[in-house]
Structure 1
Amino acid sequence: MMNTFKTFFLLVSLFISTAFAAVNINKASAEDISKELKGIGIVKATAIVSYREKNGPFKTMEQLTEVKGVGLKTVEKNRKNILLK
């Protein structure tokens, strides 16, 4: 019975950790950004890519809040999934 619970929790942990993959916001397409980040649809993801193209690569995650429609709460809930390099 204990092994069943261990297996179950291992599978749940694996699912949760792979539900959203990390994405490099300085290289990814709008489609990839919208797929991988919670609360970022294609419109916001396109705005992120446009901002990046006009202003250069993001140096910090907090810089994402300069993109219209992206707030600090969105950055915080995606912190583990955002890569800069």
Structure 2
Amino acid sequence: MLRKSISALVLSFFLSSSFAFAADKVDLNTATSEELQMLSGVGPATADAIIQYRDAHGEFKTVEELTNVKGIGHKKLQQLSEELIVSKK
């Protein structure tokens, strides 16, 4: 009985951790300038460029599309990609 309880507790911890990890990611399609600036290496100018691109071209379809934003190259994308998601409608 104790073994089942411990197993259930461990499983619940891992499941809640994975959801918390996903919740910590920033959605390129809904993020505000302030939320984008919380990302490593993203300041006000880059955050505004991301939002301007999104407003002009519509929602991001992939995280990789971020390289279309002026000032964001492949190196910057590699730094940011683990922190980003793209919501789908």
Counterparts of 2:37 and 2:73, CA distance in 1: 15
Contact 1:34 1:41 in 2 (8 A): yes
Residue 34 of structure 1 deviates from its aligned partner by: 0.9
Q: Give the number of aligned pairs.
A: 67
Q: Partner residue of 1:84?
A: 86
- The CA deviation string for residues 25-60 of structure 1, in whole angstroms up to 9 with x for no partner, is 10011111011x211111000000010011001111
Contact kept in structure 1, 2:49 and 2:69, CA below 8 Å: yes
Greater Rg by CA? 2
Letter in 1 for 2:29: N
Let me know the Cα RMSD of the aligned residues: 1.9
Letter in 2 for 1:66: N
Which secondary structure state, in structure 2, belongs to the residue aligned with residue 58 of structure 1? coil
Instruction: Give SS of 1:26's match.
Output: coil
Which residue pairs with 1:70 in the alignment?
Answer: 72
Contact 1:38 1:74 in 2 (8 A): no
Give the residue type in structure 2 aligned to 1:81. E
User: Which runs of 5 or more structure 2 residues have no equivalent in the other structure?
Assistant: 1-20
Partner of 1:49: 51
Q: After TM superposition, where is structure 1 displaced by more than 4 Å over at least 4 residues in a row?
A: none
TM-score, normalised on structure 1? 0.71
How far apart, in 1, do the equivalents of 2:63 and 2:40 lie?
15
Structure 1: which 5+ runs fail to align?
1-17
CA distance in 2 between partners of 1:26 and 1:54 (Å): 12
| Percent identity of paired positions between Structure 1 and Structure 2 | 37
